Amino acid sequence: MAENAGLTNIDVQVECYHLIAGEADPRILKQWELKLEIARPQLARVLGGELEAQEQSRAFLEYLRRPDTLTYSTVFTIVGRNLYELEL
């Protein structure tokens, strides 16, 4: 995608954004509760209703409370130069 955007001299870094192995810490659970609350209108729209959004949020938080789970996100940082940038 970076090349298609016209970038050259591309450098890519991949990092684990968050990692939850086993039961999530109570502080992490609170953060996820807030994230899901903020996302609820969109969840309801996509899932077909408020009850469905509540059920999916409940199920995900229950999943995070289990001792046999693994949850992670990956963040990609891509840096490059514009192909059309003039050399100084």
Cβ neighbours of residue 73 closer than 8 Å, sequence gap 6 or more: 16, 17, 18
Provide the pLDDT confidence category of residue 86 given band limits of 50, 70 and 90. low
Rounded CA-CA distance 55/59 in Å is 6
Query: Whole-angstrom Cα distance, residue 50 to residue 40?
Result: 8
Mean pLDDT of 4-23: 92
pLDDT > 80? residue 66: yes
pTM, whole model, 2 decimals? 0.71
